[in-house]
């Protein structure tokens, strides 16, 4: 398959590498200059479960995509949430009536942005449980295993969605076709809306958060806000199951993990994607008349903290 | 007047010194060993507006108050909120049917604890706008000016309350008799429940907080929670006035100030008095059926942070 990976941060690196290794024709698109230059010079590089890997792949700035001669079948999008619109404004030349777009990004509401550029029947949504970290431009840390869940947003996309599932699985990305991708997106946003926001605000890892006496109480309150809003989108979040899943991250090796928002905000002083997580619940709550005071306060406090640390956009 | 100052932290130091300089017979009671030993060795010491002052005063541990031979007329209490009950358990020998207790401590609900030990007609409540900081055991930094507002809790205390007002004023503590001490206590708690909690959580000073774009929105939300609960205690908080007062601390010299809770929690890794500020509003809200999700979340997050920094009790 001819694939463009748009946004070559840590996850774009993982997917770009895996898909090209499996024989797909992969083109990269990214707007961060040090990253683009590093990949042009050294290829796409990563530490993949302890092994240094490297593969040369063509990479373009968003403004250069008109230089890509042959249309792509699929765009896999892994930009920062708040940069999605800006990217799509620039990569319009890539979008044809046969170009599908797959969005596995964390958070909610990306499809609302994408629908402005792409027909609903060309949109594929889902989640991935792979993790990844970018340690320097052009080089990612790719550890552990994961999986991918994909569903077509419009009714006509099913055939192609299943073809993408097959392509990803051949690339060892463990994809499956889903009939409940929206549930999975809500569930994952709920996990991020607790662990990411709270660890970033309190500057701790997941185990440390879980060991504070009060955490389990407010975690349940926040999950309840997600569930109350989700209900208005015909999603019945299993609050006990989500809590149990979060609770499991407080023990064992994963407890030492600092969520990606912590790494963005506290470690690297970058903007967060809070508007697509707790912020999205707050906005939708306003729309449905559901009060979400905890999501609202967390969103606002994270925004204050972004300003206090002088967070940059990239 | 024969006065015992119970709790000789920064504010106890200020009041003990001022009252003894004005000719009152002052005895100190404190439970923190390095503090007691320093005062026994060097007297009560302070930097008072740039001048080093020092005065020898008798000081007892709470467990030693039975050694105080002559009963006191007034106990001025300046313990940590969460230590108040423990202190009063121990200083019972000091309490006679003629011993008044004046509580000017920050926060709400102290009178509920004190009423277990002291007849309502012997209780005086109020607020003070003096500030003070303890820089080492037995030594305080006392800068600027302030005032004191006092009211009797029970109807029979008025005469003595006015006598205490006179005594404090002679000691240059600028006291006045109030008929609305409860309003002032609520108003001050509301200021503390925004500035103290938020600066501690976000680790910033007042000016930095005020300069973040979102702060004014959530400040107003939190003030509204205080007001909604206060209403059930027949206190009509002027939300605009409180907001305006808080907003003024974001500019000029005071903007550089780190609130006392920040100093306790972030700088000195000590327990905070959050349970008597936002926590008190949350508890009372539950009692009156008023939702206070922001006060609840702030209380819980500060408690989590106390545990994360390994906060000590003294």
What is this model's ipTM? 0.90
* pLDDT tops 90 at residue B68: yes
Edge-to-edge strands, sheet with B133-136: B51-55, B44-48, B139-142, B133-136
Rounded to the nearest integer, the mean pLDDT of chain B is: 96
If you write DSSP's letter for every residue of B108-167 in order, what string do you get? S-HHHHHTTTS-GGGEEEEEE----EEEETTEEEE-S---EEEEESSGGGHHHHHHHHHH
Q: What's chain B's Rg over C-alpha atoms?
A: 19
Suggest the residue from B198, B205, B212 to mutate for an interface test with chain A (most A CBs closer than 10 A).
B212
The pLDDT, as a whole number, for residue B312 is 86
Beta carbons of A212 and B293 less than 8 Å apart: no
B309 part of contact set with chain A, CB < 8 Å? no
B294 part of contact set with chain A, CB < 8 Å? yes
Name every residue whose Cβ is closer than 8 Å to that of residue B312 and which is 6 or more positions away in sequence. Answer: B269, B270, B271
Mean pLDDT of B240-260: 93
Beta carbons of A213 and B294 less than 8 Å apart: no
Distance from CA of A307 to the nearest CA of B (A): 6
* pLDDT tops 70 at residue B14: yes
Place of tokens 């596995």: A104
B301 part of contact set with chain A, CB < 8 Å? yes
CB-CB neighbours of A257 under 10 Å: 16
The pLDDT, as a whole number, for residue A131 is 87
Q: From the centroid of its chain, how far is CA A304?
A: 23
- Do residues B284 and B234 lie in contact, with contact meaning Cβ atoms separated by under 8 Å? no
Suggest the residue from B301, B303, B310 to mutate for an interface test with chain A (most A CBs closer than 10 A).
B301
How many percent of chain B have pLDDT more than 70? Answer: 100
- Residue B99, classed as helix, strand or coil, is coil
Bridge partners for A270 per DSSP: A312
Mean pLDDT of B173-180: 97
Beta carbons of B308 and A201 less than 8 Å apart: no
Q: Look up the pTM and report it.
A: 0.92
Scanning every residue of chain A, which has its alpha carbon at the shortest distance from the alpha carbon of B306? A212
Beta carbons of B307 and A211 less than 8 Å apart: yes
**Across the A/B interface, how many CB contacts are shorter than 8 Å?**
79
Alpha helices in chain B (DSSP H): 10-21, 33-42, 84-90, 110-114, 158-170, 181-202, 206-211, 215-230, 239-248, 260-262, 278-288, 293-308
* pLDDT tops 80 at residue B39: yes
B189 part of contact set with chain A, CB < 8 Å? no
The pLDDT, as a whole number, for residue A314 is 63
Edge-to-edge strands, sheet with A139-142: A51-55, A44-48, A139-142, A133-136
B236 part of contact set with chain A, CB < 8 Å? no
Phi and psi, residue A133, nearest 5°: -140, 140
Q: Which residues of A touch B301 (CB under 8 A)?
A: 198, 201-202, 214, 218
Beta carbons of B307 and A204 less than 8 Å apart: no
The pLDDT, as a whole number, for residue B207 is 96
Phi and psi, residue B73, nearest 5°: -80, -35
pLDDT in 10s for each residue of chain A, 314 residues: 999 999 999 999 999 999 999 999 999 999 999 999 999 999 999 999 999 999 999 999 999 999 999 999 999 999 999 999 999 999 999 999 999 999 999 999 999 999 999 999 999 999 999 988 899 999 999 999 999 999 999 999 999 999 999 999 999 999 999 999 999 999 999 999 999 999 999 999 999 999 999 999 999 999 999 999 999 999 999 999 999 999 999 999 889 999 989 999 999 999 999 999 999 999 999 999 999 999 999 999 999 999 999 998 76
Beta carbons of A307 and B211 less than 8 Å apart: yes
A301 part of contact set with chain B, CB < 8 Å? yes
* pLDDT tops 90 at residue B41: yes
Alpha-carbon span A307 to A312, nearest angstrom: 9
Q: How far is CA B264 from CA B104, B268, B271, in A?
A: 19, 5, 7
Alpha-carbon span A156 to A205, nearest angstrom: 43
Distance from CA of B218 to the nearest CA of A (A): 7
* pLDDT tops 90 at residue B223: yes
Suggest the residue from B297, B302, B303, B306 to mutate for an interface test with chain A (most A CBs closer than 10 A).
B297
Of B201, B203, B308, the CB nearest to A204: B308
The pLDDT, as a whole number, for residue B314 is 63
Alpha-carbon span B25 to B185, nearest angstrom: 28
């Amino acid at each position: 398959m001819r694939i463009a990976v748009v946004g070559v941060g840590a996850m774009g690196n993982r997917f770009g590498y895996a898909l090209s290794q499996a024989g797909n024709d992969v083109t990269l698109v990214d707007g961060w200059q040090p990253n683009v230059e590093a990949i042009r010079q050294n290829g796409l590089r990563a530490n993949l479960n302890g092994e240094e890997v490297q593969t040369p792949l063509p990479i373009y700035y968003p403004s250069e995509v008109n230089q890509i001669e042959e249309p792509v079948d699929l765009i896999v999008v892994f930009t920062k949430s708040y940069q999605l619109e800006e990217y799509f404004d620039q990569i319009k030349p890539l979008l044809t009536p046969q170009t599908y777009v797959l969005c596995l990004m964390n958070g909610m509401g990306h499809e609302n942005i994408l629908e402005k550029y792409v027909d609903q029947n060309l949109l594929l949504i889902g989640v991935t449980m792979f993790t990844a970290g970018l340690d320097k431009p052009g080089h990612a840390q790719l550890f552990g295993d994961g999986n991918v869940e994909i569903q077509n947003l419009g009714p006509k996309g099913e055939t192609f969605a299943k073809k993408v599932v097959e392509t990803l699985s051949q690339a060892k990305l463990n994809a499956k076709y889903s009939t409940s991708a929206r549930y999975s997106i809500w569930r994952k946003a709920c996990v991020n809306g607790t662990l990411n926001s709270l660890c970033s605000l309190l500057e701790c890892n997941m185990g440390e958060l879980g060991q504070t006496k009060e955490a389990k109480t407010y975690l349940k309150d926040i999950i309840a806000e997600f569930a109350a809003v989700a209900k208005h989108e015909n999603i019945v979040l299993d609050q006990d199951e989500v809590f149990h899943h979060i609770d499991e991250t407080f023990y064992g090796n994963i407890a030492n993990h600092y969520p990606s928002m912590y790494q963005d905000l506290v470690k690297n002083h970058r903007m967060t994607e809070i508007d697509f997580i707790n912020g999205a619940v707050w906005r939708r709550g306003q729309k449905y008349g559901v009060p979400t005071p905890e999501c609202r306060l967390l969103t606002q406090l994270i925004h204050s903290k972004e300003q206090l640390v002088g967070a940059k956009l990239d």
